[in-house]
């Protein structure tokens, strides 16, 4: 699953560690989400969407 | 170990990790006591002392299992995935390797007896290597 997490984080000049702290996950989790190696659970996806003031479907895209 | 937010999840995560380390050392110490105590610390013909040492080792082992479960629950979902992958590989290696050894031994293909203590040690080493690989992969 692709996503815009890295772009939205960069717009706010946050580091991965900053975002991780705000969402309540590890920095490695943010890195894996950004690189598409790990798809977050719905609660984490909702926290990310809320933090970036986006809807989930504007943040995550199905590959198919 | 690095899940953190304003709710104090990071502190809980660190606390559970420290407790797990302490339980691991305690379990290893009681295991050493049960193994080397007979003969070194008490007469090996004293089965009561040996049984007590084994019982203490089992009790501390149960504490270790509970500490590991709490440690897992304190991790974020991504860290749990890395640990789950490592446990899967360790279990797979133990299962496949263990049964391969059993059938090879039954067919008289193995010339020497392997100490049973090698088995959990092998699982531990495989687990640690897989954790390390997982952390490096998602650095």
Residue pLDDT tens, chain A, 64 long:
899 999 999 999 999 999 999 999 999 999 999 999 999 999 999 999 999 999 999 999 987 7
Pairing of strands A60-61, A2-3: antiparallel
3 state SS of B89: helix
Which residues in chain A (1-60) have CB-CB distances under 8 A to chain B? 20-29, 31-33, 37-38, 40-41, 44
Give A49's DSSP letter.
Answer: H
- C-alpha–C-alpha distance, residues A18 and A9, integer Å: 9
From chain B, pick out residues whose CB is under 8 angstroms from the CB of A23.
Answer: 5
Mean pLDDT of chain B: 88
Q: What digits encode the pLDDT tens for the residues B96-108?
A: 998 999 999 999 8
Q: Which residue of A has its CA nearest to B11?
A: A24
Question: Which residues of chain A make contact with B138, given a CB cutoff of 8 A?
Answer: 28, 31-32, 37-38
CA distance B77 to chain A (A): 8
DSSP class of B113: P
Check CB contact under 8 Å for B77 and A28: no
pTM, two decimal places: 0.79
B139 chain-A contacts, CB cut-off 8 A: 28, 31
C-alpha A32/C-alpha A43 separation (Å) is: 16
How many A-B residue pairs are in contact by the CB < 8 A criterion?
A: 50
So what's the pLDDT on residue B117?
Answer: 81
Residue stretches of chain B with pLDDT short of 50 = 1-3, 6-7
């Amino acid at each position: 699953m692709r996503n815009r997490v890295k772009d939205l984080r960069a717009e706010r000049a946050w580091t991965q560690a900053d975002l991780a702290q705000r969402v309540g996950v590890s920095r490695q989790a943010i890195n894996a989400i950004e690189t598409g190696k790990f798809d977050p659970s719905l609660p984490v996806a909702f926290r990310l969407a809320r933090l970036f003031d986006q809807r989930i479907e504007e943040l995550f895209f199905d590959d198919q | 170990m690095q899940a953190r937010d304003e709710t104090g999840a990071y502190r809980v995560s660190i606390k559970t990790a420290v407790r797990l380390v302490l339980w691991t050392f305690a379990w290893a110490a009681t295991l050493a006591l049960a193994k080397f105590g007979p003969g070194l610390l008490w007469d090996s013909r004293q089965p009561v002392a040996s049984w007590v040492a084994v019982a203490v080792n089992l009790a501390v082992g149960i504490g270790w299992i509970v500490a590991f479960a709490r440690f897992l629950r304190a991790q974020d979902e991504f860290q749990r995935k890395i640990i789950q992958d490592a446990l899967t590989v360790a279990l797979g290696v133990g299962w496949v390797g263990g049964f391969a050894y059993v059938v090879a031994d039954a067919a008289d293909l193995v010339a020497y007896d392997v100490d049973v203590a090698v088995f959990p040690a092998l699982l531990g080493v495989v687990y640690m290597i897989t954790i390390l690989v997982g952390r490096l992969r998602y650095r």
